[in-house]
Chains A and B, each alone.
Chain A
């Protein structure tokens, strides 16, 4: 839990140090890239958590990674501080919190849509318009496909889920059959 508190604090501090909206988006992209890099490459995690490796070496690697990812200075500075304070392993958490802070500042909401079949541009636009009317915010839609849903879509906004898939209907039907009393 302390990890969440620390991550939130750094995310808010980073947001506070960026005024420009485009810079805010770039910083978010940079942080997400770093977070993904830490997730995919376990060696990075081992490198940064190793107590025998000096801070200078860790900073040098952070610099190289920032160059490769063309990260902004503000992100470089944050990563430098995290290495120095041995909090670099919280990066994924910080990125997640930073995303929510950025969304709040830019008045946008992220929506995850899982469909059994590919959605057309028209479908996505319809969803965006409808959700924009409901939330009053810019809608960012992320789509994924899952054929096990059979047909229809499942929508997730934050911790809320609206499921209109055939799989869900079959599951409801199954539960109804299971609960049905036999005389």
Chain B
């Protein structure tokens, strides 16, 4: 091929190219690479440090998450306890209220029964009193009409005996 026919030219070119590359490489290694490497290293360290920070943060976040989880659990348990207590208290209040109402109802019932009894007794007393008065009035009339003179004398004799007995029994 014609291209490979000019190898002589190319040998020199390749040589100088290598020399210039070497010089360039040397220069670069000498002056350019160290700051670049330094920057890179710095960058790497920074990244490593950031990764470490991130890891730490992640761990902290995990810790916080775990804490929050525990707290949430505690809060949930507390909430459950409060709900339970509220439920128990409510139940107690309800039971107390029912008992009080029952007592009141019983009291009202007793009062009503007592009132009924009083009214009944009052009525019975009135009826008895009226009956007694009526009986006495009729008896008095009948006795007055039916008493003969002999009866009157006999009753006087009997009553004399009775009052004397009574006076004697009193031990005057």
Chain A residues engaging chain B, CB cutoff 8 angstroms: 115-117, 119, 123, 126-127, 130-131, 134-135, 150-155, 157, 160, 162-167, 170-171, 173-175, 177-178, 180, 182
Number of interface residues of B (CB under 8 A): 30
Q: A130-B164, A157-B167, A160-B170 are in contact. Are A123 and B156 (CB under 8 A)?
A: yes
Q: List 19 A-B contacts (CB under 8 A).
A: A116-B152, A117-B156, A127-B160, A127-B163, A130-B160, A134-B164, A134-B167, A134-B172, A150-B140, A151-B152, A151-B159, A160-B167, A170-B139, A175-B132, A177-B131, A177-B135, A178-B125, A178-B128, A182-B128
CB distance from B124 to the nearest CB of A (A): 5
**B151 sits at the interface (CB 8 A):** yes
Among all A-B residue pairs, the 6 with the closest Cβ atoms: A164-B159, A152-B159, A162-B163, A164-B162, A177-B132, A130-B164
**Whole-angstrom CA separation of A178 from B163 in the bound complex:** 26
Chain B residues engaging chain A, CB cutoff 8 angstroms: 124-125, 128-129, 131-133, 135-136, 139-140, 143-144, 147, 151-152, 155-160, 162-164, 166-168, 170, 172
Q: A151-B152, A151-B156, A166-B143 are in contact. Are A174 and B164 (CB under 8 A)?
A: no
Judged by DSSP, the binding face of B is helix
**Whole-angstrom CA separation of A164 from B154 in the bound complex:** 13
Say yes or no: A160 contacts B132, CB within 8 Å.
no
